[in-house]
C-alpha cells in the first residue's frame, strides 16, 4: 500500500505542452493527455498538494519540413518555448511549483528559461538516455529535442538562446546527466569541453543508484538556489517504458528510477520539473504514462510505507 506524506505540501501548476515538432515524430504530442488520463492530478492531490491545471499551450500544425532543413520547425518551437517560459515565470510568481508535461524534450528550453527568471543559480538533473547537447553544427537529424540542454548552456540558435534573455542560462558544473547510453560523437566532445558530469549506465551498474544520486545531489546543490528535474521517460529501460520515440536498450530500472525521484524529494531542493517524451502511439497498454505518473508521485513525496 502506498503512503502519502503530510510534509512539503505545495501549490503545483500543471502546464501541458503538446509539442512533437522537436522530435519530428507523431504521437508525443498526446503525452499531456495520456498523463492527465492516467490521473497525475489526482495522484498529487492525494499526497496533499494543491494542483492547478493551467491547460495546454497551443501548438500550430505545420507541413513537413523541406528536405535538408538544418533545424526543423525552428520558428514554431521557439514561439512555443517563449510562451512556455512566460507561463512558467508567471506561475512561479504566484508561488506555484511549475510541473510541465510534454511533449518532446525541446520543451525543457521554455521550462528552464522561465525558472531562470526567478532562480539565478539553478542546478539541473537531466534524466535521459541522451545528453541532448547537439548543436546546429553537430546534429545529424535536425531535431531540436536533441539540442535542448546545449541551448540552456548558451549554445544554439539565437532564437532559442535569446528566450528569456541570453544571460538566462545554467552553469555546466551544476548539471548532471543520469542514464546516458546513446551519445553522438559531437556530443562527446561538447560534454568533455563543458566538464558536465555524466552518469552513464556503466556508472549506475558499477556504483549503484544510491552512490550516483549522492554525488549528483552534491553537484547540483553546490552554490545553487534550487534544482530542476528534467525527466525524459526514455531514461528508463524500454521494458519499463516502451512508449517513447527514441528507446535505447539497457536503461534504468523501475526501482532505480523511483529511488532517484525519492532522493530528489528528500533533498527539499526541487523548484521545478518537466516530464517528457511519453508517446501513447508507441506505448503498450499505457504502461509508460502510468510509469511517468508513478514517478511523479515519488518526486512529490509518495512512499511505500
User: Is 232 annotated as ligand-binding?
Assistant: yes
Q: How far is CA 125 from CA 71, 119, 165, 266, in A?
A: 25, 15, 22, 15
Which of 24, 187, 234, 294 is catalytic? The answer is 234
C-alpha 201/C-alpha 234 separation (Å) is 13
User: Is 104 annotated as ligand-binding?
Assistant: no
User: Is 202 annotated as ligand-binding?
Assistant: no
Is 132 designated active site? yes
Is 234 designated active site? yes
User: Is 105 annotated as ligand-binding?
Assistant: yes
Which of 203, 232, 237, 262 is catalytic? The answer is 232
Which of 91, 132, 187, 256 is catalytic? The answer is 132
CA nearest neighbour of 27 among 97, 137, 104: 104
Which of 56, 203, 274, 277 is catalytic? The answer is 277
Which of 49, 145, 228, 258 is catalytic? The answer is 145
Is 128 designated active site? yes
Is 222 designated active site? no
User: Is 228 annotated as ligand-binding?
Assistant: no
Which of 105, 258, 274, 302 is catalytic? The answer is 105
Is 96 designated active site? no
User: Is 130 annotated as ligand-binding?
Assistant: yes
Is 145 designated active site? yes
Which of 49, 130, 228, 258 is catalytic? The answer is 130
Q: CB-based contacts of 239: which residues, under 8 Å, 6+ apart?
A: none
Residue list, annotated binding site: 105, 128, 130, 132, 232, 234
Instruction: Enumerate the active-site residues.
Output: 105, 128, 130, 132, 145, 232, 234, 277
Residue list, annotated binding site for Mn(2+): 105, 128, 130, 132, 232, 234
Amino acid at each position: 500500500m502506498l503512503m502519502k506524506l503530510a510534509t512539503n505540501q505545495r501549490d503545483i501548476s500543471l502546464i501541458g505542452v503538446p509539442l512533437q515538432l522537436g522530435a519530428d515524430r507523431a504521437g508525443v504530442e498526446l503525452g499531456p493527455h495520456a498523463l492527465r488520463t492516467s490521473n497525475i492530478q489526482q495522484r498529487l492531490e492525494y499526497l496533499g498538494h494543491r494542483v492547478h491545471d493551467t491547460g495546454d499551450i497551443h501548438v500550430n500544425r505545420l507541413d513537413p519540413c523541406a528536405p535538408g532543413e538544418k533545424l526543423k520547425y525552428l520558428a514554431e518551437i521557439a514561439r512555443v518555448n517563449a510562451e512556455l517560459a512566460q507561463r512558467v515565470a508567471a506561475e512561479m510568481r504566484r508561488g506555484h511549483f511549475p510541473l510541465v508535461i510534454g511533449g518532446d524534450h525541446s520543451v525543457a528550453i521554455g521550462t528552464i528559461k522561465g525558472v531562470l527568471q526567478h532562480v539565478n543559480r539553478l542546478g539541473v538533473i537531466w534524466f535521459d538516455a541522451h545528453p541532448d547537447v547537439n548543436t546546429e553544427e553537430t546534429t545529424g537529424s535536425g531535431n531540436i529535442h536533441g539540442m535542448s540542454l546545449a541551448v540552456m548552456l548558451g549554445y544554439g540558435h539565437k532564437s532559442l538562446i535569446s528566450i528569456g534573455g541570453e544571460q538566462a542560462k545554467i552553469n555546466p558544473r551544476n548539471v548532471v546527466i543520469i542514464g546516458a547510453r546513446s551519445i553522438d560523437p559531437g556530443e562527446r566532445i561538447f560534454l568533455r569541453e563543458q566538464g558536465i558530469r555524466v552518469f552513464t549506465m556503466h556508472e549506475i551498474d558499477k556504483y549503484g543508484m544510491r552512490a550516483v544520486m549522492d554525488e549528483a545531489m552534491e553537484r547540483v546543490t553546490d552554490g545553487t538556489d534550487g534544482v530542476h528535474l528534467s525527466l525524459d521517460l526514455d531514461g528508463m529501460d524500454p521494458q519499463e517504458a516502451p512508449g517513447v520515440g527514441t528507446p535505447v536498450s539497457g536503461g534504468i530500472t523501475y526501482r532505480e528510477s523511483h529511488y532517484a525521484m525519492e532522493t530528489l524529494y528528500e533533498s527539499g531542493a526541487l523548484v521545478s520539473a518537466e516530464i517528457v517524451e511519453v508517446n501513447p502511439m508507441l506505448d503498450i497498454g499505457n504502461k509508460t504514462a502510468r510509469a511517468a505518473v508513478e514517478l511523479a508521485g515519488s518526486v512529490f513525496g509518495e512512499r511505500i510505507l
